[in-house]
Amino acid sequence: MKLIRVGTAVLNQTPLDWRQNRRNISQAIAESRARDVTLLSLPELCIPGYGCDDAYQSPGVQEKSLEQLFAIADETRGMVVALGLPIQYRKALFNCVAVLAGGEVLGFVAKRYLAGDGLYYEPRWFKPWPERRLGEVDVGGKGYPIGDLFFRCDGVNLGLEICEEAWTFKRPGSALAARGVDVILNPSASHFAFGKHEIRRRFVLEGSRAFGVSYIYSNLLGNAAGRMIFDGGAMIASDGVLLAEGRRFGYGQVELIDAVIDVDKTRMRQVRTGSFIPDLEPHPGERVVARGFHFPDLDPETQHDTTAPRDLAHVGGKEEEFTRATALALFDYLRKSRSRGFVVSLSGGADSAATSVLCATMVHLVVQDLGLEAVKARLDHMDLSTVDSAADLVRRLLLCVYQATRNSSETTESAARQVAEGIGAEFMVLDVDPLVAGYTRLVEDAIGRELTWEGDDLALQNIQARVRAPSVWMLANLRGALLLSTSNRSEAAVGYATMDGDTAGGLSPIAGIDKAFLRRWLRWMEVEGPRGLEPVGALAAVNRLEPTAELRPSSADQTDEADLMPYDLLDAIERQAIGDKKVPVEVYRTMRAAFPDYGPRQLATWIERFFRLWCRNQWKRERYAPSFHVDDENLDPKTWCRFPILSGGYDVELEEMWRRVEAET
């Protein structure tokens, strides 16, 4: 019986933060040693950090990564450790995992299938390594094997699937199993998206079963570079059974799980599997042997325990995932940008209320996870010596500002106040109407006429939104805080936002999520809330209001849906038109079936409005503050959804749709 205690860690790394990244790696190795782990998997590109982008191509980054690798190697005596870094070979750069054993670098496995869709741009920096190709890379005058390798350590064969490779049609794990590999390590940098963790769990379990191996999955954690959120969720499986699973959305820098695997058990599983056909072709050099390394003998009576699954390994529901992912991203953004808090222009509406509640929830979740003193230590760029509770910390970190004009109502001011008080934020009220009047008179004097709502509606609306930005920017500057923009994805799709007004800010936490979900989430936060925290009852004041910009006179009865269309329809059109790339007539046919209560001409009018506004407002999306990626419907043009700023505007396609409408009516 060959038993090995294996471990895998999630790390909260930051691009090019050499000191902290090294500390995290060293901590993972030290904790593994303390638990008698002798085989450890760490995440993809964890030495320089995932998200270095074009900096990967810097010779200095490559050299520093190698320098760190060989320093870390000294810490791995008595262990096998796999961890990621970029390696240059024959004038090309490769995304590699180094395998170290007993304090020595054994070689580098180069990634064969690069992540090049959605958020990922790996083919911009790295080249894919061809299957079954081997090479030797010179590092410091010594040659090391590189390529499609596997490793033999004390009679145990170890192979690698690197992140994207486990998601592909032709998984390398299949060939590794045929070559006699006993353990597959998967060092990953897999971002959070709704429901994605269940897919990871399936490929870990199925990989371990189908390949007849033990499968060890590692991942990153937190907000590494600004937009992507990593949720952790390390796993260890053997022969189709999950032995250990790490929690998700934790606030630690390092989180380790471990388990004992039985190598002989998985080998015998393959012996008994009739469909298993080994690869008996010789491929010289593909197996790298760790000379003189031995795994310690484990007593099967006392050592065959496993790490119990953590409480947050299974996070239920989209609302819970959204809360924890966004809160984690906000905390990391706060500390890594060394900002001293957040400022939100709280209008009394759903979007700004959601943004404010997320900030407060972040504080309670991180204090619940780490404890107040540890949180204060993580925010060591701030003087928090007088903060004695989570409530104190919310008030210290979060300022909400209601900015009124003559078109603002007592109802929204009251709602804003109730939310701010309900979450414990500092609250201010500013009367910006004199500034609006001043700008209006200034322009009227310049053009020689009075501005009217009948003739100048858009300009008069926008000046109210824009005049609010300088005040909250000034407050953010005075506090050294981060101004948060409050626009959502539904508004981004149609440009229903004032540039340099309600889009003002350095970060837009909810720009990746649609309005319909935000409204459901706010109701959930009001009556239920995330596990372990109290719901925010004060949100009732917001949830009972119809969404409105409150930029026209109160007699206009302005609402967002009257300006645009029903939000559920808008989101459905967006998914069809942008997510599924359907042309207007195809969207129309789908909407006719999905929304039978609306007449064909009304539906077609709304669909045309969507396409016109989508095309007209791409320049706005290009200027939005960075947002967090939470699902595959993101509209961020810098990371997910590219569209030309200037285009033909779907003129021909919309004419085709209207011909169909005319034929039906």
Instruction: CATH number of the domain at 241, please.
Output: 3.60.110.10
- Grade residue 547 by pLDDT with cuts at 50, 70 and 90: confident
Q: Are 303 and 434 within one domain?
A: no
Q: Three-state SS for 204?
A: helix
pLDDT at 323: 98
Q: What is the DSSP letter of 306?
A: B
Using alpha carbons, select from 178, 221, 177, 165 the residue that is nearest to residue 197.
221
Poorest-pLDDT segment among 291-305, 425-439, 594-608: 291-305
Instruction: CATH number of the domain at 333, please.
Output: 3.40.50.620
Q: Are 529 and 615 within one domain?
A: no
- Grade residue 549 by pLDDT with cuts at 50, 70 and 90: low
Burial class of 559 by CB neighbour count within 10 A (0 to 12, 13 to 18, 19+): middle
Q: Are 139 and 186 within one domain?
A: yes
Tokens of residue 245, six digits: 């699973």
Distances (CA, A) of 137 to 41, 72, 109, 143, 155: 22, 19, 11, 5, 25
Give residues with Cβ within 8 angstroms of 155, minimum separation 6.
2
Poorest-pLDDT segment among 98-102, 211-215, 494-498, 538-542: 494-498
Q: Are 617 and 656 within one domain?
A: yes
- Do residues 494 and 610 lie in contact, with contact meaning Cβ atoms separated by under 8 Å? yes
Using alpha carbons, select from 502, 469, 518, 485 the residue that is nearest to residue 626.
485
Residue listed under structure tokens 């007592």: 410
Residues 244-265 pLDDT 10s: 999 999 999 999 999 999 999 9
Q: What percent of the chain has pLDDT above 70?
A: 98
How many of the other CB atoms lie within 10 Å of CB of 294? 12
Q: How far apart are the C-alpha atoms of 524 and 526, rounded to whole Å? A: 5
pLDDT at 632: 81
Paired residues of 98 in beta bridges: 83, 108
Phi, psi torsion values for 604, nearest 5 degrees: -65, -35
Tokens of residue 515, six digits: 């309005």
Phi, psi torsion values for 384, nearest 5 degrees: -115, 25
Poorest-pLDDT segment among 144-148, 210-214, 269-273: 269-273
Residues 588-634 pLDDT 10s: 999 999 999 999 999 999 999 999 999 999 999 999 999 999 988 88
Q: Are 194 and 114 within one domain?
A: yes
* Across 575-597, average pLDDT: 97
pLDDT at 314: 64
Q: What range defines the domain where residue 608 resides?
A: 565-665
Give residues with Cβ within 8 angstroms of 353, minimum separation 6.
346, 415, 416, 419, 522, 539, 542
Q: Is 657 left (phi over 0), alpha (psi -120 to 50) or beta?
A: alpha
Residue listed under structure tokens 């009304």: 602
Paired residues of 571 in beta bridges: none
Q: What is the DSSP letter of 578?
A: I
> Strand 287-290 vs strand 150-153: parallel, antiparallel, or unpaired?
parallel
Paired residues of 184 in beta bridges: 159, 215
pLDDT at 320: 97
Q: What is the DSSP letter of 141?
A: T
Residues 405-424 pLDDT 10s: 998 889 999 999 999 999 99
Residues 51-108 pLDDT 10s: 999 999 999 999 999 999 999 999 999 999 999 999 999 999 999 999 999 999 999 9
Instruction: CATH number of the domain at 591, please.
Output: 1.10.10
- Grade residue 559 by pLDDT with cuts at 50, 70 and 90: confident
- Do residues 151 and 157 lie in contact, with contact meaning Cβ atoms separated by under 8 Å? yes
Q: What is the mean pLDDT of the chain?
A: 94
- Which of 500, 529, 560 marks a domain boundary? 560
Q: How many domains does the chain have?
A: 3
Chain centroid to CA 564? 29
Give residues with Cβ within 8 angstroms of 122, minimum separation 6.
95, 111, 114, 115, 116, 164
Q: Are 187 and 240 within one domain?
A: yes
Secondary structure in 3-state letters for 314-341 = CCCCHHHHHHHHHHHHHHHHHHHCCCCC
- Grade residue 309 by pLDDT with cuts at 50, 70 and 90: very low
- Which of 544, 560, 576 marks a domain boundary? 560
Q: Are 96 and 221 within one domain?
A: yes
User: Does position 308 have pLDDT exceeding 50, yes or no?
Assistant: no
- Do residues 397 and 333 lie in contact, with contact meaning Cβ atoms separated by under 8 Å? no
Give residues with Cβ within 8 angstroms of 378, minimum separation 6.
251, 335, 370
- Do residues 344 and 509 lie in contact, with contact meaning Cβ atoms separated by under 8 Å? no
Q: Three-state SS for 513?
A: coil
Q: What is the DSSP letter of 579?
A: I
Q: Are 611 and 490 within one domain?
A: no
- Which of 312, 338, 367 marks a domain boundary? 312
> Strand 80-89 vs strand 92-101: parallel, antiparallel, or unpaired?
antiparallel
Which DSSP helix (H) or strand (E) runs through 414? helix 410-423
Give residues with Cβ within 8 angstroms of 345, minimum separation 6.
352, 401, 402, 403, 468, 472, 486, 502, 504
Q: Are 538 and 570 within one domain?
A: no
Q: How far apart are the C-alpha atoms of 425 and 360, rounded to whole Å? A: 8
Q: Are 266 and 326 within one domain?
A: no
* Across 524-529, average pLDDT: 97
pLDDT at 303: 54
Q: How far apart are the C-alpha atoms of 220 and 199, rounded to whole Å? A: 16
Q: Are 308 and 351 within one domain?
A: no
Q: Are 542 and 581 within one domain?
A: no
pLDDT at 644: 96
Residues 440-498 pLDDT 10s: 999 999 999 999 999 999 999 999 999 999 999 999 999 999 999 999 999 999 999 99
- Grade residue 554 by pLDDT with cuts at 50, 70 and 90: confident
Q: How far apart are the C-alpha atoms of 3 and 157, rounded to whole Å? A: 13
